């Protein structure tokens, strides 16, 4: 089974719908926090799921998150910038799982809920993909999230649909 979807929040530059988010001809990796990592849909189609997300996210309050400093966690194969005080991101993640657990199948259930580790990927395939200094020890408002999906026949992910969070 493929797990093509993620819910992410971009930190300072948002894509346009359909844009590849891990680098394409118009730019590089877009810094983001994965609020819900890889998942597949169970018994609903994509358009119905998007409709459900739109209704749900309209009721979810926006929040702010703060980052820490570059680190290499033992559990990850890459360097990351962790979220310094992860309560808001963790609450978002937990509430999303509670709402949609009957509609989705997680690729990494062992990294969910209490084991969720919000972070910004800084290094991938041995290369820094973001300007670390730009994202370390900063605060970022989170007022929108995106449903992103793996692009067909490519090893990349595209921005599928943007959702504004409620106030």
Report pLDDT digits (tens) over 79-114: 999 998 899 999 999 999 999 999 999 999 999 988
Which pair of tokens denotes residue 165? 């969070």
Say how many C-beta atoms besides its own lie within 10 A of residue 142's C-beta: 20
Cα 34 to Cα 112: distance, rounded to the nearest angstrom: 12
Q: How far apart are CA 93 and CA 77, in angstroms?
A: 22
Q: Running DSSP on this structure, what letter comes out for residue 91? A: H
Pick the CATH number of 5-164 from 2.40.40.20, 3.50.30.30, 3.60.150.10, 3.90.1140.10: 3.90.1140.10
Q: What percent of the chain has pLDDT over 70?
A: 96
Among the residues of the chain, which ranges form H helices? 46-57, 87-100, 132-135
Per DSSP, the three-state class of 101 is coil
Q: What's the pLDDT band for 24 if we cut at 50, 70, 90?
A: low
As given in the structure block, the two tokens for residue 85 are 């005080």
As a whole-number percent, the residues of the chain with pLDDT over 90 amount to 78
Q: Which residues contact 48 (CB under 8 A, 6 or more apart)?
A: none
pLDDT digits (tens, 9 = 90+) for 29-49: 899 999 999 999 998 999 999
Average pLDDT, the chain: 92
Q: For 140, how many CA atoms within 13 A lie in the half-sphere containing its CB?
A: 25
- Nearest 5°: the CA angle 120, 66, 107 is 35
pTM of the predicted model over 0.85: yes
Q: Say how many residues make up the chain.
A: 167
Q: What is the pLDDT of residue 23?
A: 75
Delimit the domains of the chain by residue range: 5-164
pLDDT at residue 167 greater than cutoff 80: no
């Amino acid at each position: 089974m493929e797990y093509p979807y993620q819910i992410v929040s971009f930190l300072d530059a948002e894509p346009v719908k359909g844009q590849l988010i891990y680098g394409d001809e118009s730019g590089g990796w877009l810094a983001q926090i994965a609020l819900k990592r890889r998942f597949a849909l169970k018994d609903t189609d994509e358009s119905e799921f998007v409709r459900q997300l739109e209704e749900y996210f309209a009721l979810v309050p926006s929040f702010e998150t703060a980052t820490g400093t570059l680190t290499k966690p033992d559990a990850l194969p890459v360097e990351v910038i962790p979220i310094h005080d992860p309560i808001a991101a963790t609450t978002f993640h937990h509430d999303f799982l509670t709402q949609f657990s009957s509609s989705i199948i997680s690729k990494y259930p062992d990294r969910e809920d209490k084991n969720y580790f919000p972070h910004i990927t800084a290094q991938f395939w041995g290369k820094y993909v973001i300007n670390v200094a730009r994202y370390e020890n900063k605060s970022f408002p989170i007022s929108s999230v995106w449903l992103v999906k793996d692009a067909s026949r490519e090893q990349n992910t595209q921005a599928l649909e943007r959702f504004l969070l409620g106030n």
